[in-house]
């Protein structure tokens, strides 16, 4: 399967967010979001020594993107991990299956 590229940065609410691909995140999680610091991280290795697949990394990117948007909005949904997981999974699928015309 071919995946779209994960960006190096994006803007949310006027703030530039850096996308860092790192070996590990704190607590061995798949990703993390720090809007106030202006970055998200996507881990290569999760849990003890599990390598995150490319598909999982893309889902993690959209998951952390969703957190950054909700946090910037001041939405209580940012703390609802079930909502964030569900929404970001649909967003991942929509974007990975999107068709873009060549210019």
Residue 52 falls inside a structural domain: yes
Domain count, the chain: 1
4 pLDDT more than 90? no
pLDDT surpasses 90 at 90:
yes
Q: How far apart are CA 30 and CA 26, in angstroms?
A: 9
Q: Tell me if 75 is assigned to some domain.
A: yes
Q: What local confidence, expressed as pLDDT, does residue 31 receive?
A: 96
Residue 92's CB: how many other CB atoms inside 10 A?
22
Question: Which residues form the domain of 37?
Answer: 9-96
CA–CA distance, 20 with 26 (Å, rounded to integer): 13
Angle (CA) 36-13-22 rounded to 5° is: 50
pTM for the whole structure: 0.92
CA pseudo-torsion sign 46, 48, 53, 55 = negative
Q: Look at residue 19 and tell me if it is in a domain.
A: yes
């Amino acid at each position: 399967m071919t995946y779209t590229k994960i960006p190096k940065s994006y803007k949310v609410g006027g703030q530039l967010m850096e996308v860092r691909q790192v070996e590990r995140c704190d607590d061995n999680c798949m990703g993390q979001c720090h809007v106030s610091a202006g970055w998200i991280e996507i881990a290569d290795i999760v849990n003890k020594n599990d390598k995150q697949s490319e598909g999982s990394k893309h889902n993690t990117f959209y998951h952390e993107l969703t957190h950054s948007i909700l946090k910037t909005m001041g939405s209580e949904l940012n703390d609802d991990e079930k909502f964030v997981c569900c929404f970001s999974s649909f967003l991942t699928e929509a974007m990975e299956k999107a068709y873009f015309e060549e210019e």
